[in-house]
Amino acid sequence: MDGEFIVDTENCEERERAYRERGTARPITVVGNPVLHRECQEVTEFGDDLARLVDDMFASQRAAEGVGLAANQIGVDLKVFVYDCMDDEGVRHVGVVCNPVLDELPAESRVLDDSNEGCLSVPSAYAELPRPDVAVVRGQDAEGKPIAVRGTGYFARCLQHETDHLYGRLYIDRLSKRDRKDVLRQMAEGTPRYETVPND
């Protein structure tokens, strides 16, 4: 079974640093910016422009101290996300997924996890959100080769969260009206730790 999944746990430090050092950190778009609220375009060209975008995404993710970043969070309308995320066993995962699609997993193979969730595009705010504790994402790597990524626990949450972004959905869209209002209040009262793009 594991043969179909990429190994994203080796040389994490070196791979992440190489991406980040080639890239330039960009400001983060925040809730209300139109690019975050619509489905992104499919990636169809796997060349230098995409490679540069991926480098910038890793640099931006690190600057904002995030564990995952979707292209629309730096204002780019393309279905690609990067991640640098620990799972619940403390194993680090680093990778890139283009054109991600989440597998529908059978109910008996997953458990809902009610952990807190946050988002770089909803700075300084958190809410509990139930998500399955296992996720499988299929897509392509930065060269266009088919890949599958499997995550559990916190990493599963990250894969689901980033895939949602690329379909125009923020985690707060999955909350009750009351919880969503509370998150937006937290955001209004907080100060982002990183540069954001104002919605004006």
What is the rounded distance in angstroms from the CA atom of residue 141 to the CA atom of residue 95? 8
Task: Determine which one of 10, 21, 162, 195 is catalytic.
Answer: 162
What is the rounded distance in angstroms from the CA atom of residue 183 to the CA atom of residue 190? 10
Show the tokens assigned to 50.
Answer: 């995409």
DSSP label at 187?
Answer: H
What is the rounded distance in angstroms from the CA atom of residue 111 to the CA atom of residue 133? 6
Contact 15, 94 (CB under 8 A): yes
Picking from 135, 120, 101, the residue whose alpha carbon sits closest to that of residue 172 is 120
Name the one residue in this structure whose structure tokens are 């958190």: 126
Active site residue 143: no
CB atoms within 10 A of CB 77: 13
Name the one residue in this structure whose structure tokens are 């994402």: 137
Active-site residue set: 162
